A and B are shown apart, each in its own frame.
Chain A
Amino acid sequence: MALLELDNVGLSFSGVRALDGVTFSIEAGALHAVIGPNGAGKSSLFNCISGIHRHMEGQVRLEGKELRGVEPTEIARLGVARMFQNLALFEHLTVLENLLLGRHQRYTSGLLGNLFWTRTARAEEVRHREKAEEVIDFLNLEHFRWMPVAVLPYGIRKRVELGRALCMEPKLLLLDEPTAGLNQEETEDMANYLMDLRHELGVTQVLIGHELRFVMDLATQVTVLDRGRVIANGPPSTLRNDTRVLSAYVGGTVAA
């Protein structure tokens, strides 16, 4: 069984058909790219998976469990982590605090334990710190550990956001344009991290991308959306010359 199955998913916003009968599945261990022109419904799809939007038709199943109506908090607990398109970091907190917030749902000590800083609360803090440090090590964020996110450059912030998602130890990592706004070098770094993620940690990733070259090089599987519909689905090699993809991206005349 696939890790995530989308079955005939539909979503409308007062007349705009954001998603229309979207059906495909994401295998465990894949780096699955979702591409498409602006307004194709890529981010809406992510919002349905992470529970921010509630799809009106069809099913989104994570390991066979339907996600419709499940609260975002609960979906996070089920192992879906998300990196936002426009950075959604906690600006006034340090990098370390941001990463520890990625582990928030795994904390068991409550307000009282924290208020009195009990032995259990302290031990838990250290345990999660160790995990966060592993991510810091993986993403080479050592220099920025104590810095508030607000003072960091954009490329580093993107990496912190990836780190925060990784701290959740997700089964499924949703990456909404991880390279948007990055320069050539930072993009290459990001590509390396994503590949390492797949090979070393075995995290299943869903990637939204605009930059075709980046996506085609990295992905094991590509789904192309246009105006809320799936117009193509398959490994990157089969899509390179697909006329529907080309026409959606470049315009009708090329396909003709």
Chain B
Amino acid sequence: MPTRPLVTRYEDDLKLLPGLWHKAGAVLGLAVALSYPWIVSTRWLTVGNLGLVAIVGAAALMVLTGFAGQVSLGHAAFLALGAYTVAVLGVKLGWPFWLALPLAGGVSAFVGVVIGAFALRLKGLYLAIVTLGLVFLTQHVLLAYPELTGGLSGTSVPMYWWFRGESGSAPSVGETWMLGSVVLGFERKLYFIFLLVAGATVWLTKNIQRSNSGRAMMAVRDQDLAAEVLGVAITQAKLQAFGVSSFLAGIAGAMFAFQQQYVTVEPPFDLNLSIQFIAMIVLGGVGSVFGAVSGALAFTFLSPLAETVGHSIPLINQLTSAQQSTVLLSIIVVLVLVLEPMGLFGVWLRVRRYFQAWPFRY
């Protein structure tokens, strides 16, 4: 019977893991996350890596759309900026990945804040259209400088440990390490790096959500007039949301580029990608970090599952496998919207209520 510990200090109310059950759940989750690359096949390890990338990207969109209420279709543009930043820094300057990663966020955040400043007066659909324009603009700019970005044919994304020296060779993350009998290949190394980044992202977005900055964003989302009378600087809150969101989106794009090792402009950085991220936060539940994480994981893991299941469903099995997963995921998202508008977060709330009220029904 899970019970809440008695809160005697306000500090205790601010803790992320206040009770024994929370801590137990966190330890269990960490154990699963750490053992995951050792117990699954290569195919599912890749899915796991993409899931971690999706967590960062979805958390980024959650800050902008979920917290600040700014509907954006331009998420793919920020991911593209991050991806190409690390590609160019790696290929042209030989930067190590850990230095290029934050810079990818920085470049993306800079563009995000500039766009945010232009979009301050826009709301709802109008903002969505403008940010949609940003996707096309970014695609054009990236294709306009082929000597830097490789143009249509794309560019490789090296992942160095250290700066590339005069000889042009630098230790790469791609090398397989043998630690005794433990094999640490590229995908496994990526997994642990990504796990760290995703964990940090979740912590940062959670901090926004529970702090004054996040409350200001949500105030702007719910009632901007009242927010202003309370002394919330609306411009500042929106720009902060744009900045944090595009920074994290840039990081997610960079992670994606490292995972793919080779990027082109389109696909993947098109409107479809933006919509996938919106689907993730809708699936998870708009407005919570839990929603971003669960939605991202559910979406990434359902795609290969849908391809597997799709063969045995009449009508759908006549489509290509990519179409199959698109159709099935769309059906799932629509069903979630109809049955549980709060998404997986809403499901979690109901499960929790059930156990809190146990053995009574309500």
Contact = CB atoms under 8 A, between A and B. Distances in A.
B223 interface: yes
A124 B212 CA distance: 10
B230 A111 contact: no
A117 B211 contact: yes
A111 B214 CA distance: 9
A101 B219 contact: yes
B273 to A, nearest CB: 26
Interface string A96-109: 01001110110101
A89 interface: yes
A101 B230 contact: yes
Contacts of B208: 114-115
B216 interface: yes
A104 B223 contact: no
Where chain B touches its partner, the secondary structure class is helix
Contacts of B222: 89-93
Nearest to A102: B230
Contact of A92 (B207, B211, B287): B287
Contacts of A124: 212
Contact of B229 (A50, A130, A133): A50
Interface stretch (B10-18, B116-124, B179-187): B10-18
A73 interface: yes
Contacts of B129: none
B233 interface: yes
Contact of A77 (B211, B231, B243): B231
Size category of the A interface is 35 or more
B14 A115 contact: no
A105 B231 contact: yes
A101 B232 contact: yes
Contact of B10 (A101, A104, A105, A130): A130
A129 interface: yes
Contacts, number: 102
Interface-central residue, B14, B223, B226, B227, by most chain A CB under 10 Å: B226
Contact of B228 (A73, A91, A93, A111): A73
Contacts of B233: 73
Nearest to B16: A117
Contact of B213 (A50, A111, A164): A111
B244 interface: yes
Size category of the B interface is 20 to 34
B207 A117 contact: yes
Given A76-B231, A126-B11, A130-B10, A88 B226 contact: yes
Contacts of A121: 211-212
Interface string B281-314: 0000001000000000000000000000000000
Contacts of A72: 228-229
Contacts of A117: 207, 211
B231 A115 contact: no
B223 A88 contact: yes
Interface-central residue, A50, A82, A93, A114, by most chain B CB under 10 Å: A114
Interface in B210-260: 211-216, 218-219, 221-223, 225-233, 240, 243-244
B213 A101 contact: no
A100 B212 contact: yes
Interface in A163-197: 164, 168
A118 to B, nearest CB: 10
Contact of A105 (B14, B211, B218, B230): B230
A13 interface: no
B287 A73 contact: no
A69 to B, nearest CB: 15
A52 interface: yes
B244 A115 contact: yes
B204 interface: yes
A71 to B, nearest CB: 8
Contact of A115 (B207, B215, B219, B232): B207
Contact of B223 (A50, A73, A90, A105): A90
B196 to A, nearest CB: 16
Given A76-B231, A88-B226, A117-B207, A111 B244 contact: yes
A124 B204 CA distance: 18
A90 B219 contact: yes
A72 B230 CA distance: 8
A246 B206 CA distance: 58
Contact of A76 (B11, B229, B244, B287): B229
Interface-central residue, A77, A111, A168, by most chain B CB under 10 Å: A111
Contacts of A129: 10, 13
Given A73-B233, A90-B219, A125-B14, 20 more contacts: A73-B228, A73-B232, A76-B231, A91-B223, A92-B222, A93-B218, A97-B218, A100-B215, A101-B230, A104-B212, A105-B231, A107-B212, A109-B211, A109-B212, A114-B207, A115-B207, A126-B10, A129-B13, A130-B10, A164-B230
27 contacts: A50-B229, A52-B228, A76-B231, A88-B229, A89-B223, A89-B226, A90-B223, A91-B222, A92-B218, A92-B222, A100-B212, A104-B212, A104-B219, A104-B232, A105-B232, A109-B212, A110-B213, A111-B213, A111-B243, A114-B212, A115-B204, A115-B244, A129-B13, A130-B10, A164-B230, A168-B230, A168-B231
Interface of A: 50, 52, 72-73, 76-77, 82, 84, 88-93, 97, 100-102, 104-105, 107, 109-111, 114-117, 121-122, 124-126, 129-130, 133, 164, 168
Interface of B: 10-11, 13-14, 204, 207-208, 211-216, 218-219, 221-223, 225-233, 240, 243-244, 287
